Amino acid sequence: MSSSPSLHRILVATTVGLGASAALLTTGVGARDALADGRAFAFSYDTSTMAPGHLEYEQWVTWNDRYPDASSLRSFDLRHELEMGVHPRVQLALYLDWRYRTGGGIESDAEFEDVAAEVIYGMSNPVTDPLGSALYGEVRVGDEKVATEAKLLLDKKLARWDLVWNGIVESEWEEEGLAEREGELGQTLGASFQLRPAIAVGFELAHFIEIEEWRHAEDSVVHAGPNLSLRHRLGWMTFAPLFQLTDTEQPDVKLRWLVGIDL
């Protein structure tokens, strides 16, 4: 397996992500209170919301791949997101998704996926309350596609540890007349340890079940892997490679790189 072209690409992409992380560290950081707030997890949301009037741009890049079959379909998913705080408990976001696909016997192409709006409502604090909690809602609209997603966000901060869990319900209608309906139930969890004010390392797990027409459940899909989170006075970055622990036709590896810039 180590000689497969697909695995080689995975290792190269992982090295690039970690190398970029190290390069960011060398630029230097200010005092603790000068560091930007950032996300410790790539596949989970915590319950924090931005201060009213605060703006942040986020760039997502997710690579989905399978190995050892080099002919399998691979994709880069990109998201351009603008987040804003509108109330001490409420955060809004708008984003655009598009995808580049290659392999799998198709002609390589890039296409627009959808435009979306999301809202997060914070209910309790992960530091001052026994458990942090928030509600997340999202609506996505694309070409012959409409999707909704709801999440319950839970987290807890214990000294230098961040713990998080998300419960997820998603519905999607697509094709002409939005005649096809798909559902998905999922959960993600993670733990992150702060090595120093600007650096945290941790672990993430994602578990999803697709449900055709909300009637027939597919096999469970589980991915897990490490993550690295960095904060700088100008922004933050999180990188996580997750590997499939189950045996399904879903991607064997998901590499996600998030970059946030304060505006």
pTM given for the model: 0.86
Q: Which of 56, 57, 97, 102 is nearest to 78 (CA)?
A: 97
pLDDT in tens, 84-135: 999 999 999 999 998 887 766 666 778 888 999 999 999 999 999 999 999 9
Q: Which amino acid is at 200?
A: A
Q: Helices in the chain by DSSP H: which ranges? A: 5-26
The strand pairing partners of 33, in sequence order, are none
Sign of CA dihedral 212, 214, 219, 224: positive
Q: What distance in Å separates the CA atoms of residue 240 and residue 83, rounded to the nearest whole number?
A: 21
Domain boundaries, the chain: 5-262
Burial (CB < 10 A; 0-12, 13-18, 19+), residue 14, is middle
Q: What is the pLDDT of residues 187-235, one digit of tens each?
A: 999 999 999 989 999 999 999 999 999 999 999 999 999 999 998 888 8
pLDDT tens column, 155-187: 999 999 999 999 999 999 987 778 889 999 999
| DSSP per residue, 180-237 | EEEEEEEEEEEEEEEEETTEEEEEEEEEEEEEETTTEE---EEEEEEEEEEE-SSEEE
Quickly name the fold that domain 5-262 has: Porin (2.40.160)
